[in-house]
Each structure stands twice: as C-alpha cells, then as structure tokens.
A and B are shown apart, each in its own frame.
Chain A
Amino acid sequence: DVKVTQSSRYLVKRTGEKVFLECVQDMDHENMFWYRQDPGLGLRLIYFSYDVKMKEKGDIPEGYSVSREKKERFSLILESASTNQTSMYLCASSPSPGTSLYNEQFFGPGTRLTVL
C-alpha cells in the first residue's frame, strides 16, 4: 500500500514564526501536492511538484513556499505564519504518467495547524 506520512497531526505556532510541514511518501511517486482544507471551501491546491527540485504554484501560493530536495519528501514552508493560515494541511502524491494509478492521488492524514 502507498503510504504518505506527515510529520505532525497537530501543530500550534505563533504569528510570525517560520513553520515547516513535512511530507514523506514511500512509493517512489513523481508528483507531490500540498493542499489546505477549510470548511465550505473544500481542498485548495497550494503548490505541487512533478519532480525533484521542480515546483509549480497552485491556486493559493501566497504566503507559502515549498522544497523538494529528495523525491520522497515535499516540505511546505510558512515563512511568517499568520492567523489566516490556521487550517488543515493535506499532502498527497501520485505516480508518473503511464502507470495504472497515475490519475489517483494518495493522501496523508493531514496536519491541523493553529496559528495564534
């Protein structure tokens, strides 16, 4: 089974802190994604990466950056956390084109971040 793990289930930070959210997948997937989930807004894509050191902005990248130094790891960075970044953050991965599971995304359990 594909396993996507996220470093923390719950995180509490203060306004202005630099926050790192880590995501690791164990299935050698090319593509990785960061979403935030808010009630009534569904999942919104923040950033995604289709290869090591490659990244593209999603729909709501402002206030976030990402890092992908190794294929299995995709980090989301909040340079200076703000209260409006309090949310559930979900990481996902999917394999490369040509594989039978290419069109599916596999999700981690989520990190609920609270910024005070």
Chain B
Amino acid sequence: AQSVAQPEDQVNVAEGNPLTVKCTYSVSGNPYLFWYVQYPNRGLQFLLKYITGDNLVKGSYGFEAEFNKSQTSFHLKKPSALVSDSALYFCAVRDPETGGGNKLTFGTGTQLKVEL
C-alpha cells in the first residue's frame, strides 16, 4: 500500500525567508511524487512532480522539491517566500506498480502562512 505523511499541520515563515514543507512517503516500488497547492475556496493546482531522472525538480511559482530515496522524502522548497504563497499544500504519491487508473494517495496537507 502507498502512503504519504506531512508531519507539520502548519508552517509559518517571514516573507523573503526560505521555506520548506516536508513530505515523506511509503511505496513498495519506485514512487511518482507530486505537490499540489490549494488557495482558499479553490480546487487543487498542480505544482510539480517527480517521475524519474534528476532528483531536484523545479515547478510553478519558483517552487522546487528534492527527491531523496534513502530518506523516502520529497520536501517542497522555495528560496524566498512571498505572502501570496500562503495556502494549503498537499503532497501525493503514486506507486506505478499498482497499475489501474492513476490513483494518487494524498497527505493530510500543510498550511503555509507567510507573514510580512
């Protein structure tokens, strides 16, 4: 079975500082990993994904994430946070070995709050 853990319910950071939102995963095979963002009263928007290749993945709005197989982690990062980055962030995993329909398993979400 595949699973994802987001250990922090909320992350607070000052504007201009670097931010990290943590994610660890568990799958039986090689994972496909994703980050999505949800702004208030909106659906989820895709940020970035890791399928294969370079462990550092760059995505939308200046975000990046690093795949670390030995630590089974896929932390989301941004060098300089903006107030407009304040939102709910979800990590998701897919085990391609399970087949069938592109099912994703989502974490519980981390609320990011960026303050002036």
Contact = CB atoms under 8 A, between A and B. Distances in A.
A104 B46 contact: yes
B9 A102 contact: no
Interface string B93-108: 0100000111111111
A45 B1 CA distance: 14
Interface string A80-116: 0000000000101010010000111111111000000
Give the interface residue-count category, chain A.
20 to 34
A102 B6 CA distance: 24
Interface stretch (A13-21, A35-43, A63-71): A35-43
B103 A106 contact: no
A48 interface: yes
A103 B43 contact: no
A76 interface: no
A42 B101 contact: no
Given A103-B102, A108-B43, A110-B42, 19 more contacts: A33-B103, A40-B9, A41-B108, A42-B106, A43-B90, A45-B103, A45-B105, A49-B101, A50-B100, A58-B103, A90-B44, A92-B44, A94-B102, A97-B102, A105-B44, A105-B104, A109-B41, A109-B42, A110-B43
Interface of A: 4, 9, 31, 33, 35, 40-45, 48-50, 56, 58, 90, 92, 94, 97, 102-110
8 contacts: A35-B106, A40-B9, A40-B108, A43-B90, A44-B106, A94-B102, A103-B51, A107-B45
